[in-house]
Amino acid sequence: MSDAYIALADGRVLEARARAPGRTRGELVFTTAYTGYEESLTDPSYAEQILTFSYPLIGNYGVRSERFESESVQPRAAIARELTDDVAEWLADEDVPAVDHVDTREIVTTVREEGAMACGIAAGPDATPEDAVEEMEACEPMSDHVDIGAQVSVTETTVYEGDGVADVALLDCGAKGSIISSLTERGADVHVLPYDSTPEDVADVDPDVLFVSNGPGDPENFIAAQAVVDAFAGDLPMAGICLGQQVITSALGGSTEKMAFGHRGVNQPVKDLRTEKVVMTTQNHGYTVADTGPLEVTQVNVNDDTVEGLDSEELDVITRQYHPEANPGPHDSLGFFDEVLELARSEPPVAAD
């Protein structure tokens, strides 16, 4: 007899095995990453989502907090073909439901064909299929989580000291820890500011560069971050990763749209249009830039041509849709952080006529 159920928006209820008990709901997504489960499970960009691992065995090299990207588990639940006891115990301790012994290939195929969808999970000795369906029916579309930044951001400005190479004002929309450490390791002092900071809060830090972090949910809901970008456009160099690219683009007059099922994995090929070089990248996003506004496309996804990198020499802006900090994933793009700090040290941009 099953003791866990997964209800999908298409009406199906799948049977599974409970590994960490509980009931929950979220947007069903999958990652094809074959490593890095600790980093993925602590990536704040997974807030309000249920994460399915397409790789069949999750947990085979243990659980170590040094590899965490934030202080807690971020997806609402985890689904795998097989979870080790280490991972199951970690998720149970964190009150995050987890299930395995389910055909994850079928789940991935369904999401690829029908798109990311509402999902409900009920796991544990008393769980019923009806509980899972009830959860699924209560699941709100991602764009309805209008204040999702509040779930993942710092509430007070926190400074991470580097070597005084530059002062980075990092708007924390749900930043992965290794984005901050990638900057401090290169000598920058990183001022991590709440996602809803005002332009005045940012001015108080007197930064050399504004950095908009990754984060969960619909970028159009990050109104305060967009207002900060708008206030400093042309006066302060800017950089962004993932949600950061999306927020900067929208604030400068471009737009974003939801993808069918997004990109989540560690082998997404990205081509740099200037060098024609292709690199492998780590990705985790469900939205993409639709209209780039005043920004120039510098990098594209080889699989589907979506925008992966944007630039404006006039506005001193440089952004990436993927995750150059590479936790988990290939280290091909770590040089992005050097480019950001070069931007920070450059002369202030000359105002356009």
Ligand X SMILES: NC(=O)CC[C@H](N)C(=O)O
Contact residues for ligand X, defined by CB under 6 A: 45, 214-217, 219, 242-243, 284-287
Please tell me the distance from the alpha carbon of residue 75 to that of residue 247, in angstroms, as a whole number. Answer: 22
Q: Which CB, 92 or 242, lies closer to ligand X?
A: 242
Q: Which CB, 146 or 345, lies closer to ligand X?
A: 146
From the list 39, 48, 242, 263, the catalytic residue is 242
Query: Is 139 considered catalytic here?
Result: no
Smallest distance, Å, CB 1 to ligand X? Answer: 37
Smallest distance, Å, CB 163 to ligand X? Answer: 27
286 is in an annotated binding site: yes
284 is in an annotated binding site: yes
Look up residue 105 and give its two tokens: 């290939």
181 is in an annotated binding site: no
Smallest distance, Å, CB 284 to ligand X? Answer: 4
246 is in an annotated binding site: yes
Write down the number of H helices and E strands in the chain. 10, 19
Residue 96 neighbours by CB under 8 Å, 6+ apart: 20, 22, 24, 73, 75, 76, 77, 78
Contact 247, 226 (CB under 8 A): yes
- CA quadruple 278, 186, 283, 81: dihedral sign: positive
Q: Which CB, 96 or 212, lies closer to ligand X?
A: 212
Q: DSSP letters of 162-206?
A: --SS-EEEEEESS--HHHHHHHHTTT-EEEEEETT--HHHHHHH-
Smallest distance, Å, CB 243 to ligand X? Answer: 4
Query: Is 325 considered catalytic here?
Result: yes
Please tell me the distance from the alpha carbon of residue 326 to that of residue 94, in angstroms, as a whole number. Answer: 25
Query: Is 323 considered catalytic here?
Result: yes
Q: Which residue has the tokens 């900067």?
A: 248
195 is in an annotated binding site: no
Q: Which CB, 137 or 140, lies closer to ligand X?
A: 140
Annotated catalytic sites, by residue?
242, 323, 325
Detail the residues annotated as belonging to a binding site for L-glutamine.
Answer: 45, 215, 217, 243, 246, 284, 286-287
